[in-house]
C-alpha cells in the first residue's frame, strides 16, 4: 500500500477553518484517498474520501491536488468536538483493508 | 452509531486464558475487518473476511484466529493470552471491499490481560 505523510500535530482555534495536509507522492491511479478520525477511546470514524475531484460532505471538504500527490482535509469551522487524530489513508484495489499511519493529532482551543 | 456492534465492551482475563470477541457488521455488509490498538502500536490491521472467506491477513499472531459465519457475524479468538495482548480490538465492516467503499468501525472491545 502506498504511504502517506502527515504532520504529527496541529492546533486550531474554535470556529476557525482548519486545513489538514497529507502527502502521498507514490499514489497510484486507482488509489482512493480516505480520511478517518479517531476520538479518544472510540472507534475510527469515516470523514470523507475521493479519487480525483474535490469532495464535500456535511463533515468536511477534501481538496485533491491536480497531480494527486497531495490532498487537504478542510474543516470549515472547527469545534471542540473536532479534536481528534485524523488519518489520511490510501486505499487501493488490492484489498479493502485500511492501513493506518500515525495521523495528525488536532487540538482545538476555545 | 456506526451500526457495527461489538461484544463484550470490556473484558478482564488472566494470562494463558482464551477469549472470544464478537462482531455484528452493519446490515448487508459482506466484509469484516479486525484491528488491534495498543498504546504503543497504533491501529494495526489483523485480518479481513469477505462473505465468509478470508480475504487479507495482517499482523495477526498465530495464537489469534478469526472466522466469519454464514450470517456474516464474525468472531476473533485470542488464546494463550499474554500481558502484551491487552489492547482495544476494533471490528469494522463495509458493503464490499472495493477501494471506494466506506468502512465503518465499531466502538471496540477493551481487553485487559492480568
CB-nearest to A96 from B44, B90, B99 is B99
Q: Does B30 touch chain A (CB under 8 A)?
A: no
Q: Residue B7 pLDDT > 70, yes or no?
A: yes
Do β-strands B64-68 and B74-78 pair in parallel, antiparallel, or remain unpaired? antiparallel
User: Residue holding cell 486550531?
Assistant: A12
How far is A21 from chain B, CA to nearest CA, in Å? 20
How far is A94 from chain B, CA to nearest CA, in Å? 8
pLDDT value for B98: 77
Q: How many CB atoms lie within 10 A of CB B108?
A: 23
Q: Residue B41 pLDDT > 70, yes or no?
A: yes
Chunked mean pLDDT (size 10), chain A, 110 residues: 88 97 92 93 93 93 96 96 95 77 95
Average pLDDT of chain B, as a whole number: 94
Q: Does A42 touch chain B (CB under 8 A)?
A: yes
User: Are the beta carbons of B99 and A41 separated by less than 8 Å?
Assistant: no
Instruction: Please give the order of strands across the beta sheet that includes B19-24.
Output: B5-7, B19-24, B74-78, B64-68
pLDDT value for A94: 62
Segment B75-114, tens digit of pLDDT: 999 999 999 999 999 999 999 877 778 899 999 999 999 9
Amino acid at each position: 500500500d502506498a504511504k502517506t505523510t502527515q504532520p504529527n500535530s496541529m492546533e486550531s482555534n474554535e470556529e476557525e477553518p482548519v486545513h489538514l495536509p497529507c502527502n502521498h507522492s507514490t499514489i497510484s491511479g486507482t488509489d482512493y484517498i480516505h480520511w478517518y478520525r479517531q476520538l479518544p477511546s472510540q472507534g475510527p470514524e469515516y470523514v470523507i474520501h475521493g479519487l480525483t475531484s474535490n469532495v464535500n460532505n456535511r463533515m468536511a471538504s477534501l481538496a485533491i491536488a491536480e497531480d494527486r500527490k497531495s490532498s487537504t482535509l478542510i474543516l470549515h469551522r472547527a469545534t471542540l468536538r473536532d479534536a481528534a487524530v485524523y488519518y489520511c489513508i490510501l486505499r487501493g484495489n488490492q484489498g479493502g483493508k485500511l492501513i493506518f499511519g500515525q495521523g495528525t493529532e488536532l487540538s482545538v482551543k476555545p | 452509531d456506526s451500526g457495527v456492534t461489538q461484544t463484550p465492551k470490556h473484558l478482564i482475563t488472566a494470562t494463558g486464558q482464551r477469549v472470544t470477541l464478537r462482531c455484528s457488521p452493519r446490515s448487508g455488509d459482506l466484509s469484516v475487518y479486525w484491528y488491534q490498538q495498543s498504546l504503543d502500536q497504533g491501529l494495526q490491521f489483523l485480518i479481513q473476511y469477505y462473505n465468509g472467506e478470508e480475504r487479507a491477513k495482517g499482523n495477526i499472531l498465530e495464537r489469534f484466529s478469526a472466522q466469519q459465519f454464514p450470517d456474516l457475524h464474525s468472531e476473533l479468538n485470542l488464546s494463550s493470552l499474554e500481558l502484551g495482548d491487552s489492547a482495544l480490538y476494533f471490528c469494522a465492516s463495509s458493503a464490499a471491499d472495493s477501494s471506494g467503499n466506506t468502512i465503518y468501525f465499531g466502538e471496540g472491545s477493551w481487553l485487559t490481560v492480568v
